[in-house]
Amino acid sequence: MTKKKIFIYVNQGFAVRYLLRSDTLKTIINKSTQIIIISNNGKEKKFKNSFEFDNIIFEEFKYSSYDQYLNKNPFQKVLISLRAYILNGKYDTRTVDDFRRIFLEQGRLTKGNGIFRLIYGCFWETITFLFKFSKSLRKLIIYFESLLFSPSFHKELFQKYSPDLVLVTALCGFKHNELFAREAKKYGVPVCCVVLSWDNTSGMGMPGYIPDYVIAWTENMKRELIELNDIDQKKIFVGGVAHFDSYYKKNTTLTKDQLFRQLGLDTNKRTIFYATKSPKRFPWGPELLADLAKAIRDGHIYSDTQILVRIHPLHYRSTNAKIIFQDILDEYDKVAAEYHSVILNKPLTVSQKMDFDLSDSESKLVSSILKHSDLMLNMFSTMVIEAAIFDLPAVNICIRERCKVDFGKSHQDIMVDYYQSHNQRVIQTGGVKTVFTMEELYSTVNEYLDSPTSNETGRKKIVINEAGPFPGNAGEMIGQHILSLL
């Protein structure tokens, strides 16, 4: 019997986590399938050895060829940028509207920067407005790009394997997903997009290709795919969140003693879990941490408290084997060295060529941290959903005074996050508290430490609305759906 062949394109660690280090991959691997993983580190031995399956083939993705292709086609780059700020204007597009406004401000395409820049900015606004309110124009731009900008860098792979299905993890935004999807469609191969994260359907702009199938996290995401992204509802399967599965299963976490011993935590102290934000969006994390540590020292936060700081994997993004944000990592180390109440947890990565490819053990570790902490601090991340699964009280830090930028003119303005539609959905459940000053942060921390069951009903709403169906076996259900497409 001829095996059905599936191409899986992964371009960064979060895609690896979702598709390859979950039950999704385990489910689609069987005697009747052949899996071909295509990645920029396809020849890396350490990465390949982390998957214990016989019928997986690894191929190198021609990342640099795609980069060069875009550099030689500036009009394609303009269209990618344009689409990033377009969704169906008949619905709530606050997130991409804010991003477009920031783009114009940073490009100095606004009033006060000269008449020619203002004219260009007005032209940009007019074009995006027209596309927002015309489905025909949105369809036309996808058709135009698919016709003119569909490279053939992987022609040999498509001819060699004749795949029956291609899996990607984005409709747009994440680098080269849309180009690879177009390349697949040019060769007549159906494309299934497994949406990677909860904000992708409301904050990344319109699709760069027409998918044959889409797998969504939740009914909320399905609605956004239909309303904002013009996706036919018949193409959409709501499969849950594959990498949340371990949170629901028994015997998948360390005991409290094991966790605290492994991380050097004090079992006699209450634990604040601080999930840091991307260093590009909030580079002032070490300063905020230092103030939290001082608050514990000075009694503004209960003194029998310790802060477990989980360094966001994006801190370890590298270029030419050099970590881009090493200076920020060094600052975290300095804070931890100065304050005994601060314990750092740095993610363990597998690949040296692919950014933030976390080891399988990291999932168990994060589950254990969520289970045994008393409170979580974050800045509008998916960790709010994950905390809610464990009924862990969570606080969104939205302290604008800590953002050293021109308010309203930068992605680093935390109020931009606050108003994003996916974050507003969570805030409106009442399952997470949002604080706007340091004093409010300290008092809210103490309130939650005193009364951890506060807002419990809201946290249940977060799980219902945002964690998706099939708790504990979403990866299997997604895998079964993928097999049904062959």
List, for residues 372-400, the tens digit of each pLDDT value.
999 999 999 999 999 999 999 999 999 99
Q: What is the pTM (predicted TM-score) of this model?
A: 0.95
The full set of domains in the chain, from first to last, is 4-68+146-241+472-484 (3.40.50.2000), 78-134 (no CATH), 250-466 (3.40.50.2000)
CB atoms inside a 10 Å sphere around CB 430: 14
pLDDT in tens, 155-186: 999 999 999 999 999 999 888 999 999 999 99
pLDDT in tens, 335-378: 999 999 999 999 987 777 777 788 888 999 999 999 999 999 99
| pLDDT of 405 | 79
Cite the beta strand spans of 398-452 per DSSP E.
433-435
Band (pLDDT 50/70/90 cuts) for residue 91 is very high
Band (pLDDT 50/70/90 cuts) for residue 222 is very high
Question: Which tokens sit at 200?
Answer: 């992708």
Q: How far apart are CA 195 and CA 382, in angstroms?
A: 14
What is the DSSP annotation of 161-187?
Answer: H--SEEEES-SSSSTTHHHHHHHHHHT
Q: How far apart are CA 232 and CA 212, in angstroms?
A: 9
Q: Yes or no: say if 135 and 165 are a contact pair by the CB < 8 Å rule.
A: no
Of 35, 56, 7, 28, nearest in space to 158 by CA:
7
| pLDDT of 191 | 98
What is the DSSP annotation of 18-60?
Answer: IIISSHHHHHH-STTEEEEEEETTTT-HHHHHT---TTEEEEE
Question: Which tokens sit at 310?
Answer: 């989980």
